[in-house]
Amino acid sequence: MTIRKILSFCLCISVFVLNAQIEEAKLNQLITETLSVFEVPGISVGILKDGEVVYAKGHGVRSLETQKEMNANTKVGVASNSKGFTCFALAMMIDAGKLNWDDKVRQYIPEFRMSDPYVTEEFTIRDLVTHRSGLALGAGDLMFFPEGGDFKVIDIIDNVRHLEPESSFRSKFRYNNNMYIIAGEVLKRVSGLAWEEFIENKIMKPVGMSNSKASYNRVTDKSNIIEAHTRADGKVIQIPHDWSDVANPAGGIVSNIPDMLTWAKFLMNDAVTESGERLLSREQFHELWQLQTPLKVSPNDSYNSNFRGYGLGWFLTDVKGGYKQVSHTGGLIGTVTQFTLIPDLDLAIVVLTNQMVGSAFNAITNTIKDSYLGYEDRNWLKRYGDNRNLFLENTDKVKADVFKAVEVAKTAIDIPKASQIVGTYTDDWFGDIFISNTDNKYSIKCMRSPRLFGELLPYNATTFIAKWDDRSYDADVYVKFTFDESGNANGATMSFIAPITDFSFDFHDLNLKKKN
């Protein structure tokens, strides 16, 4: 065989490997096993390759209570996968000549303030959507999470000035939803349309996402939509849908597999619709997928990646030493999702679930991705499954140890008296928290987020445990009091008792001062 023939043969083998699809039967089995290993009631999966849908199927049930099946058309809240839509919409406004990425936020929202006057004046539209504000992970999320609070967009704009930075401006990546809420307000002020109206009419409709809505409350046909589920006190249960419309620009969109694959096809077709309409200039579309905030690549990275970071609404990296990957994940209380594009391979993978276990979508996405990249079976299901079991064991042990200490504290003599701690405490951005005592039982209630209420249990001489009545939150916290010279509480701080708590329960960002 000549050198030319050998090279040609090797090229053919390489092309075959990079286009090899996982067998449908094996994929069905993987998803079925994933449901069991991670206790997820329902999962829907879609694959787009070379412009064609090669897989679109639901597995399991969309509701534990009704046992109705999950199928490809089942609607799911895609959560933070909405952020790509927000940035796409802003880019459309740039094409329209109404703003620029590096315009100052105060040009459009004069009342916008951060805690540092310099940061206030320098903060740009680009800064809003690249997670480099200097604020801590999830700072201020309690203003919309969980659902039921009375915070409005104007409150969030007003309150971010009270959030203390964790790092200097633009120095670190720290994921923040409230900046996206403010970005949605920028879109509203420059376009004249509410974020929801813009997303549905200017993006979803021309793209062909006919079964998607910009928020849960805009879904009129809920005959085929998931119910949310989570693991609470060791058992997976069905819980109410939970999302505040205030935060729609950060995570409000509801969609399904066919529509998310339509979105993927549109993006990999250079932002041109099936009818040939270009919704975004090549220049602006190119900008969305450019690295803005760098992130470290692990020395043990599984995909031989050379770079990693965040663009404008998207996580960016390379896989297998050169294929650019554009992706995002999303999480609400009771559901998590993942959206992955490898444009060089014309490949898209969408995984939608109705339980809060990111390992489930990772196991599925990585297995599918590996089949196209030519990796041998790396048994992601076992790897993620084993890691999750260890994590849950550790989490359950931490919680068990804490509540053992609570039992011991019931007979301790150094526990503060009710007169020392009861009353109203306030935080500059979260408002009032009321601690009361009735029949020797303490309770705690967050006045602006009324779903956050529960027992306050003695732990030691300075610390109590807030055990929330809604056990699905899995967000119990230490409440550590500070005392004045008379022994009366004058303030308090909070922190998680277990690592499983979602970062959006940012109780640790509160600085409570006693009012009365």
**Does 451 lie in the same domain as 348?**
no
Q: Above 80 in pLDDT, residue 1?
A: no
Read off the pLDDT band of 113 (50, 70, 90): very high
Number of domains in the chain: 2
247 DSSP 8-state letter: G
If one compares 206 and 9, the residue with the highest pLDDT of the two is 206
**Does 291 lie in the same domain as 433?**
no
The pLDDT of residue 2 is 41
Instruction: Determine the Cα–Cα distance for residues 188 and 249; give it in Å rounded to an integer.
Output: 11
| Contacts with 194 (C-beta within 8 Å, 6 or more apart), sequence order | 188
Average pLDDT over residues 405-424: 94
pTM for the complete prediction?
A: 0.94
Average pLDDT over residues 334-363: 97
What residue numbers bound the domain in which 488 lies? 412-514
Instruction: Determine the Cα–Cα distance for residues 84 and 339; give it in Å rounded to an integer.
Output: 11
Question: Could you tell me the end-to-end alpha-carbon distance of the chain, in angstroms, rounded to an integer?
Answer: 90
- Residue identified by tokens 């041109």 is 272
> Is 398 contained in some domain?
no
Q: Above 80 in pLDDT, residue 9?
A: no
**Does 109 lie in the same domain as 229?**
yes
The pLDDT of residue 3 is 40
**Does 417 lie in the same domain as 305?**
no
The pLDDT of residue 11 is 37
Instruction: Determine the Cα–Cα distance for residues 3 and 153; give it in Å rounded to an integer.
Output: 66
> Is 104 contained in some domain?
yes
Average pLDDT over residues 162-183: 98
**Does 146 lie in the same domain as 237?**
yes
Instruction: Determine the Cα–Cα distance for residues 163 and 151; give it in Å rounded to an integer.
Output: 15
Average pLDDT over residues 432-439: 97
State pLDDT tens for residues 287-324.
999 999 999 999 999 999 999 999 999 999 999 979 99
Which domain-ending residue is among 325, 358, 391?
A: 391
Contact 359, 500 (CB under 8 A): no
> Is 293 contained in some domain?
yes
Instruction: Determine the Cα–Cα distance for residues 514 and 516; give it in Å rounded to an integer.
Output: 6
The pLDDT of residue 62 is 97
Classify strands 254-255 and 76-77 as parallel, antiparallel or unpaired: antiparallel
Q: Above 80 in pLDDT, residue 16?
A: no
Q: Above 70 in pLDDT, residue 10?
A: no
Contact 182, 156 (CB under 8 A): yes
Instruction: Determine the Cα–Cα distance for residues 82 and 214; give it in Å rounded to an integer.
Output: 8
Mean of the per-residue pLDDT values of the chain: 94
**Does 176 lie in the same domain as 73?**
yes
**Does 443 lie in the same domain as 329?**
no
The pLDDT of residue 17 is 40
Which domain-ending residue is among 391, 424, 440?
A: 391
Average pLDDT over residues 142-158: 96
| Contacts with 509 (C-beta within 8 Å, 6 or more apart), sequence order | 136, 139, 140, 142, 163, 164
**Does 189 lie in the same domain as 137?**
yes
Side-chain-side CA neighbours of 188 within 13 Å: the count stands at: 16
**CATH number, position 496:** 2.40.128.50
**484: buried, middle or exposed (CB in 10 Å: 19+, 13-18, 0-12)?**
exposed
Task: Output the 3-class SS for 35-95.
Answer: HHHCCCCEEEEEEEECCEEEEEEEEEECCCCCCCECCCCCEEECHHHHHHHHHHHHHHHHH
Instruction: Determine the Cα–Cα distance for residues 168 and 170; give it in Å rounded to an integer.
Output: 6
> Is 13 contained in some domain?
no
> Is 487 contained in some domain?
yes
Range of weakest confidence among 26-35, 229-238, 337-346: 229-238
200 DSSP 8-state letter: I
**CATH number, position 72:** 3.40.710.10
Which domain-ending residue is among 362, 391, 420?
A: 391
Average pLDDT over residues 133-151: 96
> Is 501 contained in some domain?
yes
Average pLDDT over residues 274-296: 98
Contact 364, 387 (CB under 8 A): no
Q: Above 80 in pLDDT, residue 198?
A: yes
> Is 69 contained in some domain?
yes
**Does 429 lie in the same domain as 351?**
no
**Does 495 lie in the same domain as 374?**
no
The pLDDT of residue 20 is 61
Instruction: Determine the Cα–Cα distance for residues 144 and 156; give it in Å rounded to an integer.
Output: 9
Q: Above 70 in pLDDT, residue 67?
A: yes
> Is 1 contained in some domain?
no
**Does 280 lie in the same domain as 246?**
yes
**Percent of residues, the chain, with pLDDT higher than 70:** 96
Average pLDDT over residues 211-225: 97
**Does 108 lie in the same domain as 209?**
yes
Tell me the β-bridge partners of 341.
326, 348
Q: Above 90 in pLDDT, residue 126?
A: yes
Read off the pLDDT band of 158 (50, 70, 90): very high
Instruction: Give the 3-state secondary structure of residue 184.
Output: helix
